[in-house]
Structure 1
């Protein structure tokens, strides 16, 4: 079915988006040391709201020992609710909906960021990155506490006035660490076989769904973000992800969100070379749950290409550079879209060091002196 990006869409939990465009979650590193939002961060999101149907925030950690970097948003304490409410309000302009992404970094942090606390993970296996610290293997009690922390974070998101949460199961953070055979070497009910490595995801999704559905909130949605494969050996293979997608598509989720840096990207597996990973995933879902596609979307043509194999389009880097990217696409004024940044633009656009680092890594050709 041909999908128009200007269409309004209603999720099964009742929330209606005015169009099929999302602002993607991107690390800002703009919060205070204790996870409380800053005025600049609220302004950053507010400037980019209004055109898109929804904004997904940068990751908010659900436990203090889940902090992955300085300047990270927090949702692990009730004292953070007023700031989160300010964030939600800054996004909800002209009908744009606000989605809070919730996560725990697991082993993708270090004891300095955690103020002396050792990172935790599914198993005591260090990440394959320079200077990675050895994490402590989580106990059964740790695991149950973390699942409860995701539930509590969801409750805080509801109290703060968000329109939904996105469970961050991508980008090598703790949920993905439980699913990965590289980081999960457990021999109990939480690891071993593919099905047991899925157990942690299954439990978190079920508990968050129950938390939302048992609350009095209306029109509050639940999404899940995933990365399609890992380069580590052993690591998550694309075939494993298709298993995961099949399971999640039968849950009570409102959407799935693939994490890609290029929507045309193919798998590293020799068995999945006929199509892009986005197309394989979309076919696997088979209309059971909406899919958000993403991956270096810059133009109207890119939007239409993504919607051939997805139900929504998430836009990241282009909206850092031009906060009004979505409105210009909607108004058929693509020629007016800003395509590069100078150092003098950054203050005006509330772009601080964390976002500049991201742009320098992902698209240096679009930064000017």
Structure 2
């Protein structure tokens, strides 16, 4: 018998888009696109296997311009030539009433000259990321910043033309939108940097243009979401106080949702070990009722997802668990929770549409070549890298 879970209820966004339930498949790096950014048949097959149960499916990230590419096997929304490819993605996801959202970004300094075919990575400032082998990026000129904002707007228009139900602006995981907000990567002294307020200027400009494009071109309700990472460990870097100030500004932007990217939904501060309050609770208080949240991070069982609902957070994302169990929602609805799969073995991967590049990516994160999902602490430690 099916339990009376809140997460099985419908949810209506301010834009008018209604989800059949409150389960979200978050954007996950799967590196299965062609080298030029077009979708492959393997990737389409993967989408078809994993969609249909959740109310909302957010795609792996797509770049908005050539310098925005962050890794091989990444989707692209950088030119009109990609609209047919993106249409195939949207169509594949639209099964059994699942809504499709295209996540878009520029990787900024989280790329390299090899991926960019000889071009130097770009960022807010010429400061390399704190990671092995990071290249020093070139600071975008004012004109290039404006062009990048325009490129985000063009990508939103292509998402509309391709038949998606919305876009998510990827301002998390240390990519370009976050790089402009971060005091580590943004050392500018012009209108795009300096004070906390000026470091918000670039992402807010992207949001404003996205809203204008949606108003002009969307012929049906269309979602606009934003994704952020609450903290950085770099010095200087984003601290939770910066993020809470940003969230209070974001709640005024009439976004449909804010997607909080964390490897553990109940993670506490990375920088203040004495603070035991989960970051998601702090963000929820700053967001208020005007900015609905999507919580993600090592949620697997129905009880764990229902705990998110009980806090008043309306949407919960199943990342790695959705890979292991594409029929998670269907099994819950059928009263078959005891049949939910929580691990993936190498033998399962082909039937789940997980091709070798994706499997290698997953197992490199967890440290196991044969199984994913068996070690929750180890998985949670690396999940932030998966959710791009």
Q: Output the TM-score relative to the length of structure 2.
A: 0.92
Root-mean-square deviation (Å): 1.7
Within the candidate set 276, 279, 282, 1:280 is matched to 282
1:118-157 matches, cutoff 5 A: 118-157=120-159
Q: Distance in 1 between matches of 2:45 and 2:216?
A: 33
Q: Distance in 2 between matches of 1:178 and 1:326?
A: 38
**Relative to 1, partners in 2 of residues 1:146 and 1:359: Cα closer, same or farther, differing over 3 Å?**
same
Indicate the residue corresponding to 1:11 in structure 2: 13
User: What residue ranges of structure 1 are gaps of 5+ in the alignment?
Assistant: none
Structure 1 residue 13: Cα displacement = 1.2
Within the candidate set 331, 339, 342, 1:339 is matched to 342
Structure 1 residue 272: Cα displacement = 7.3
8 Å contact kept, 1:57–1:101: yes
Quick check: 1:319 aligned with 2:322?
yes
Q: Distance in 2 between matches of 1:215 and 1:3?
A: 37
**SS of residue in 2 equivalent to 1:286:** helix
Deviation per residue, 1:263-291 (Å, 9 max, x gap):
11101243872420111111111111211
8 Å contact kept, 1:102–1:167: yes
1:1-369 matches, cutoff 5 A: 4-270=6-272, 273-309=275-311, 310-364=313-367, 367-368=370-371
User: What residue ranges of structure 2 are gaps of 5+ in the alignment?
Assistant: 373-388
Deviation per residue, 1:89-135 (Å, 9 max, x gap):
00000100000000000000100000000000000000000010010
**Relative to 1, partners in 2 of residues 1:355 and 1:329: Cα closer, same or farther, differing over 3 Å?**
farther
Q: Distance in 2 between matches of 1:173 and 1:137?
A: 14
Structure 1 residue 366: Cα displacement = 9.5
8 Å contact kept, 1:29–1:353: no
Q: Distance in 1 between matches of 2:240 and 2:335?
A: 37
Q: Distance in 1 between matches of 2:165 and 2:16?
A: 10
Q: Distance in 1 between matches of 2:316 and 2:369?
A: 21
Bigger mean CA offset, 17-26 vs 344-353? 344-353
Q: Output the TM-score relative to the length of structure 1.
A: 0.96
What is the total number of aligned residue pairs between the two structures? Answer: 368
Q: Distance in 1 between matches of 2:36 and 2:361?
A: 22
**SS of residue in 2 equivalent to 1:224:** strand
8 Å contact kept, 2:160–2:218: no
Structure 1 residue 328: Cα displacement = 1.7
Q: Distance in 2 between matches of 1:246 and 1:124?
A: 29
Deviation per residue, 1:302-328 (Å, 9 max, x gap):
101122331100110001112112222
Indicate the residue corresponding to 2:384 in structure 1: none
Structure 1 residue 343: Cα displacement = 1.7
Q: Distance in 1 between matches of 2:214 and 2:256?
A: 12
**Relative to 1, partners in 2 of residues 1:327 and 1:367: Cα closer, same or farther, differing over 3 Å?**
farther
Bigger mean CA offset, 128-137 vs 266-275? 266-275
**Relative to 1, partners in 2 of residues 1:366 and 1:11: Cα closer, same or farther, differing over 3 Å?**
farther
**SS of residue in 2 equivalent to 1:287:** helix
**SS of residue in 1 equivalent to 2:102:** strand
**Relative to 1, partners in 2 of residues 1:283 and 1:365: Cα closer, same or farther, differing over 3 Å?**
farther
